[in-house]
Chains A and B, each alone.
Chain A
Amino acid sequence: MDLSRRGFLQAAVLTAAASGLTVACGGSSGSGGTKNGKDLTLWYWGGALSDKVVAEAKTHFSSSVKLTTASIGGDFKQKLTTTLAAGSSVPDITGIKGEDMASFLPNASRFLDLNDLGFKKISSQYLNWKTKLAQTKDGRQIGFPIDIGPTALFYREDLFAKAGVATDPAKVAELVKTWEDYFQLGVELQKKNPGTYLVNNISSVFNIAVGQGTSRFIDKNNHFIGDQEHIRAAWTTAVRPYTLGIDAKINDNTWNAAVGKNLLTELGAAWHALDIEQAAPGTKGKWRVCANPVGPSNQGGSYLALPQQCRNPEEAFKIISWILSPANDARGFTDAAIFPAAPAAYAMPAMTGPDAFFGGQKIIEVFGPAAKAIPDSYEAPADAAVMAPYMTELTNIEAKGKKPDDAWKDAVSQAKQIARRQGVS
């Protein structure tokens, strides 16, 4: 059979028409439905919630609703975005990662306002700065805080002792009051422990230094401020360990092998303790934690949200406020190293116990105060995208020996471009 040109064109037009129809149909599938459904689905990812608490929630609420949970692997944000855009099979309750929250806020109308459901009454139980990060400018609350990631300084007590430096957490915290003190201590430690480094890479220093401030790369009026003094200062701080030669320049997965060997300290959030424990089980008892230089910042920490399509908002809200009640939050810490966003949990026995990996130190004494001291900052939807070039350029300094000043210029000019692309003025 040979197809004529006309025949081919006809077929092409039909095809196009058919695809047009598909689109037209796809757009109109929003379902009204009743709002007192008996089946609720919960989407989260492995480690976002304590599996034990979730399992208990199922039985606890079994008389009123049937809760089905799905642990979603891979790129969670992407899958949630696609499902929300499609408008069908949307979960009734979903997790949202802390770093993705800002990018969901412009589309807050896709989610229910938790304040309408009673979050206002209990919001004082949760850390205010964390709650605010899931709030739109007009006060819609779309995220219920699960956990947070207060940062601290993890250090090798044995290597500190070897260098004749104080090893008691409170005393070390005194020694590293400022970034410069911390780096100078690193130089001294390195002399006594040849072949070791103070920090794993300078991006991690930058990340924490930026998080210590109240403003980031874009201000509340949607202006780019990534070229201003506060970012420049964080940059200068980050480059210091590189120039002092106390930077291990690890930007790949060899961190796993390095952490038990030649790293003197680790800057990281509370959940980072688990990373260290898994990567270097042989160093059990040799690590300690103290407040990090200058002050704490936050890394990560997630939320639960109710999409607009939620089939039973009242019940769903009851479920999430039960799962995330301070008492259950504390259990999340024991089960899955989820650091609660509810300060009341910090005093509960589940959290105040000594940690054998840290030589019996009660690490909540460091992270608890840090959690409460994290500054209230504004994170714009495009913030993560705009921050990326700074990280890239810091890696360029480490990998290619690029001059820090050139790297700074390139980072700023690229960040500006990304900001413009994302509609920031």
Chain B
Amino acid sequence: MSSPPVTGPAAVPEHRGGPGPARFRPRRAVPAGHARPRRRGPLSYWRQYLAISPFYLIFIAFSFFPVFYSLYLAFQRWDGLGDMQFVGLQQFKFLWSDPVFWLSIRNTLVIWVLSTVPTLFGALVLATLLHSVRRFKGFYRIALYVPNVTSIVAVAIFFGAVFSNNFGLVNAILGTVGISPVPWLSNPWLIKVVIALLMTWMWTGYNMIIYLAGLQAIPTSIYEAAKMDGAGPVRTFFQITVPIMRPIILFTVVISTINGLQSFSEPQVLFANNAANANLGGPGQAGLTTLLYFYQSAFLNNDYGYGAAIVWAFFVLIIVLVAVNWRITQRGRKA
């Protein structure tokens, strides 16, 4: 393997720009007279690659390879142990005509909207409030962030107990004011509301911290100018804060979309399967999200090919939604 002279005195100014007039030359411009303007190939950086390789090796073994292996699986029928059987696009054909798959997509989207909208709006409002707080700043920040680092299983069990149909806390409180028990965990819509509420509770603090960081980067002079022009707090919020925060909002929207569409543990724990009913997702499968359906198909029904097809179809959907999100949030930026 040939390696170009790295530390040769002549090589330094052309590559690094060096001090003096070289700085004003366009990068990579080769001075006349030099015969071989060799670029350094990636292999000459092998030490650096070696240094970062642990991450990549682990990534390849546990993420990269499984991802593409699942793509391969999507065209097979496999029970996890026996021989694989190539079935072409059959799994995707099944998918297309599987009402449960479409139900799971609907559930996921509804839960996503029901959780993301209040989460992001609430986070922005809380961040603005917290930004103007003078005392106990640290306390508020920690208090609002704690739900995000709480074990999701613990939270789901807690929500399950609080919203329990027959003996839950919420229904008990409603009962004291004369409202008859609400079937939180069996009505198809209320199931989604409870799951969305759980996710909102967990993720508002996380987004709030990100927004707060963004708010602190806005110079106070802008707010002072707005105040001078007679803008009230609400108007300042919508016409100063929100437009400046647009890139950060975009970031949180994309992240929330990816997270929100991957809801799995919440319904999985809330509606843990019992002996009599092996299905996941609760009554009427109203809490069956796409990932939960994937889990059920692959790991409970031993239909790994179909499970792989579900996640790949879902991957396409997430890409589309993120692209749509991007366009909506970006719109008007250039105008």
Contacts and interface: CB of A to CB of B under 8 A. Distances in A.
| A complexed with B | yes
B178 interface: no
A176 to B, nearest CB: 20
B42 A3 contact: yes
Interface stretch (B17-25, B92-100, B205-213): B92-100
A58 interface: no
Interface stretch (A11-19, A125-133, A287-295, A319-327): A11-19
A10 B231 CA distance: 56
A251 B278 contact: no
Contacts of B164: 252-254, 257
Contacts of A392: 277, 279, 284-285
B82 A107 contact: yes
Interface size class of A (residues with CB under 8 A): 35 or more
A423 B87 CA distance: 11
Interface in B279-320: 279, 282-286, 299-303, 306
Nearest to A23: B65
Q: Is the interface of A mostly helix, strand, loop or mixed?
A: helix
Contacts of A4: 39
B276 A400 contact: no
27 contacts: A1-B48, A11-B42, A15-B56, A19-B61, A19-B64, A22-B61, A106-B79, A252-B160, A253-B160, A253-B272, A254-B164, A382-B301, A384-B300, A385-B302, A388-B278, A392-B279, A392-B284, A395-B284, A396-B283, A398-B186, A399-B186, A399-B284, A414-B99, A418-B301, A420-B94, A421-B306, A422-B303
B79 A203 contact: no
Contacts of B160: 252-253
Contacts of A387: 278
Contacts of A421: 91, 94, 303, 306
B325 to A, nearest CB: 27
Interface in A280-310: 299-300
Nearest to B66: A19
B185 interface: yes
B284 A396 contact: yes
B149 interface: no
Given A106-B82, A421-B306, A10 B284 contact: no
Nearest to B305: A421
Interface string A390-425: 011001101110000000001000100110111100
B69 to A, nearest CB: 8
Given A19-B60, A106-B79, A252 B278 contact: no
Given A421-B306, A422-B303, A423-B77, A7 B283 contact: no
Contacts of A15: 56, 60, 64
A135 interface: no
B45 interface: yes
A81 B42 contact: no
A399 B187 contact: yes
Contact of A391 (B81, B279, B301): B279
Interface of B: 39, 41-42, 45, 48, 56, 60-61, 64-65, 68, 77, 79-82, 91, 94, 97-100, 160, 164-167, 183, 185-188, 271-272, 274-279, 282-286, 299-303, 306
A50 interface: no
A85 B41 contact: no
Contacts of B279: 388, 391-392, 395
B118 to A, nearest CB: 25
A8 to B, nearest CB: 8
A84 B80 CA distance: 9
Contact of B188 (A7, A207, A400): A400
A410 B285 CA distance: 14
A254 B79 contact: no
A384 B275 contact: no
B263 to A, nearest CB: 18
B94 A384 contact: no
Given A81-B302, A396-B284, 8 more contacts: A18-B60, A22-B61, A75-B299, A107-B79, A204-B276, A252-B271, A254-B166, A399-B183
B302 A417 contact: no
B260 to A, nearest CB: 24
B277 A203 contact: yes
A15 B196 CA distance: 40
A384 B278 contact: yes
A290 B171 CA distance: 36
A239 B14 CA distance: 84
Nearest to A81: B80
B232 to A, nearest CB: 48
> In the complex, which of the residues B61, B183, B302 has the most CB atoms of chain A within 10 Å of its own CB atom?
B302
Given A384-B278, A414-B100, A81 B284 contact: no
A78 interface: yes
Given A18-B60, A81-B81, A252 B276 contact: no
Contacts of A85: 80-81
Interface in A242-273: 249-255, 257-258
